[in-house]
Structure 1
């Protein structure tokens, strides 16, 4: 089965992150592809693989996560780096001939959308540094 990335709404990932019966790396994986903009906070259970390293790291990610049912990619806004990284991962999987029912997803609106929506909720942002977000335009 060909693996094709699709967008996922934040609520889908929210439910997984808060579900204590689900484990990152086993039931789902979150790949945060931000570079220096990774500082300031991230989604619990996510791993950071900068988009600039995706071609070099795709095989490692596939080795580590091809058994995981859902893999979510995101960057700051999930407009360029997140979708491109999800595509590289999917294409590498397909090129390797790996048969999988895995769902490769892109978090709609990326971490900035996640932050705007869930920054006030307990347990939804790890390593949060409010000073990084002081000047961010956030809709209330």
Structure 2
């Protein structure tokens, strides 16, 4: 089935889970200086937990709302928008590309649009240091996902 939205023109830049973990730890130490946001794009597959502090914006609703989302993120002083889905190869990469395209179209140079490398699945399977930063973590979901991958 073809997507009703265009493919992004910009290839999504990625960010490692180690770098995101560092951002989370730094923001926990100085919460008023948080300049990034994590966006979980999952909708019906939103199970097993999410990275602490993420907002949920299902990918299906993202493209038509980019101008409004950008406005909110800009007003909040965000410099990094980090998208993820299960693997960040599909929805995560597309969303990061769409926002990168939008940022370029409005001349935005201070905000980055990024996809979390290997998505929430990679995060959940990376061990205790990462799982400790998940809300509603359910090991059974990730064990099952690893067994079927």
TM-score normalised over the length of structure 2 = 0.78
Equivalent residue, structure 2, for 1:111: 120
Distance 2:114 2:126 in 1: 19
Contact 1:70–1:105 (CA<8 Å) still a contact in 2? Answer: yes
Match of 1:132 among 129, 132, 141: 141
Q: Are residue 91 (structure 1) and residue 101 (structure 2) matched?
A: yes
Which 4+ runs in 1 deviate beyond 6 A?
Answer: none
Match of 2:67 among 43, 59, 79: 59
Q: Are residue 15 (structure 1) and residue 25 (structure 2) matched?
A: no
Deviation at 1:5, TM superposition (A): 3.9
TM-score normalised over the length of structure 1 = 0.82
Equivalent residue, structure 1, for 2:86: 76
Equivalent residue, structure 2, for 1:44: 52
Give 1 or 2: higher helix fraction.
2
Can you give the 5+ residue segments of structure 2 that lack an aligned partner in the other structure? 1-9
Contact 1:31–1:48 (CA<8 Å) still a contact in 2? Answer: yes
1:137 to 1:123, Cα distance in 2 relative to 1, 3 A: closer
CA RMSD in angstroms comes to 2.4
Distance 2:100 2:30 in 1: 23
Q: How does 1:1-12 map to 2 (within 5 A)?
A: 5-12=12-19
Distance 2:67 2:32 in 1: 19
1:55-90 deviation per Cα after TM superposition (whole angstroms, max 9, x unaligned): 123223211212311111111101111010111112
Equivalent residue, structure 2, for 1:32: 40
Distance 1:82 1:25 in 2: 25
